[in-house]
Amino acid sequence: MADTVLVERTGAVATLTVNRPDKLNALNVEVLRELSRTFHGLLEASEPVRAAVLTGAGKAFVAGADIAAMSELSVAEAKRFSDMGHRLLAMLEAAPFPVIAAVNGFALGGGLELALACDFIYASANAKLGQPEVNLGVIPGFGGTQRLMRRVGAARARELVYTGQQLTAAEAAAMGLVNKVLPPESLLEEAHKTARTIADKGPLAVAAAKRVMTRAEDVPLGVACELEAQAFATLFGSEDQKLGMRAFLARSPAVFTGR
């Protein structure tokens, strides 16, 4: 059996590819477990990852959850399946490095939920995105109702979830769901270019920025600003801050150590 998730390292950048193209990379228990195992491996790698790209093999990013596998789930089994998805997506959000979703085709249902747990989304011009679960008599089960609201606003998210509408990449970009729309042949190249740019920055600073910005979504502005101030001050105890500022003053590039 082919690996359902492929991982490739180029320096400090990792690329994860959901590899079930004959099923449009649909998510089942096996794929969720393999994604979790693979991502955990990146978190524990001896050579730290500083940015990651998540994409899909073939003509889909992830077309959704595996409906054939889901169709006979009991209430208890459905809850366990949903919990697996939530744990995986929480792991992506909590990672100390940014994850870029490179949506190369269909990103529907669980596929869009997976992309929403990434820091931002680049999409090929032929991509289709949406939460069509109501067409199946259910709702998003991996956080889609919540992350979509935070990404595009409550009213737009409600419309998309209630109608099951599928968006083109251009429509998704117009509402802020997608950061860039790219020709299919340029998608991964552009995602990797951005990932390399991020990987060259101070990794402690990037991790702190991600942590503060993620937590800020759930707290009042004053609390969020205090979290920012604390993280800002803490970084002044790092070697990276000293390296970065010395390099700036010397007009030379900084080579950060992550310490």
Cα 201 to Cα 65, 210, 215, 254, distances in angstroms:
35, 13, 21, 8
Q: Which of 44, 47, 113, 189 is catalytic?
A: 113
- Strand locations in the chain (E): 5-10, 13-18, 51-56, 60-62, 99-103, 106-108, 120-124, 128-130, 166-168, 180-182
Q: How far apart are CA 253 and CA 244, in angstroms?
A: 8
Q: How far apart are CA 135 and CA 164, in angstroms?
A: 7
Structure tokens at 108: 């529907």
**Alpha-carbon torsion (139, 175, 192, 250), positive or negative:** negative
Quick one: DSSP state of residue 253? Answer: -
Q: Verify whether residue 133 is a known catalytic residue.
A: yes
Burial 166-186 (b: 16+ CB within 10 A, else e): bbbbebbbeeebbebbbeeee
Q: Verify whether residue 113 is a known catalytic residue.
A: yes
Q: Which of 133, 189, 190, 239 is catalytic?
A: 133
Q: How far apart are CA 236 and CA 204, in angstroms?
A: 11
Q: How far apart are CA 238 and CA 245, in angstroms?
A: 11
Quick one: DSSP state of residue 59? Answer: T
* Residues labelled as active-site residues: 113, 133
